[in-house]
């Protein structure tokens, strides 16, 4: 998690850096707590294998976003984008 914080500090400019870091650190405990509830409900009803594969399918878009986020951040932080927004 230390590396991810450094990446957010480098790529996010201006006054929104604090909000980005706050959202990042809020997602960690939220994900853990939602994961416990999701795991308990789905595992109790259809079994742990369905819970595992269902979560893998739900996480696929986030994994794809992880591979493309640096390029998207470079576009957002470019001077051309800042000129218009």
pLDDT in tens, 30-83: 989 998 888 888 888 888 888 788 888 989 998 888 888 877 777 777 665 555
C-alpha distances out from residue 18 to 13, 21, 40, 47, Å? 10, 5, 34, 40
pLDDT band at 18 (very low <50, low <70, confident <90, very high): confident
Average pLDDT for 20-27: 85
Q: Report d(CA 52, CA 39) in Å as an integer.
A: 9
Q: Report d(CA 49, CA 12) in Å as an integer.
A: 39
pLDDT at 32: 92
pLDDT at 39: 81
pLDDT at 85: 52
- Per-residue pLDDT reduced to its tens digit, 27-38: 889 989 998 888
């Amino acid at each position: 998690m230390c590396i991810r914080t450094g990446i957010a500090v480098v790529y996010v400019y201006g006054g929104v850096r604090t909000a980005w870091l706050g959202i990042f650190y809020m997602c960690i405990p939220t994900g853990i707590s939602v994961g416990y509830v999701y795991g308990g409900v789905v595992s109790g009803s259809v079994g742990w294998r369905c819970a595992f594969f269902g979560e893998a399918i739900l996480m696929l878009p986030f994994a794809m976003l992880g591979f493309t986020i640096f390029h998207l951040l470079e576009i957002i932080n470019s001077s051309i984008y800042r000129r218009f927004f």
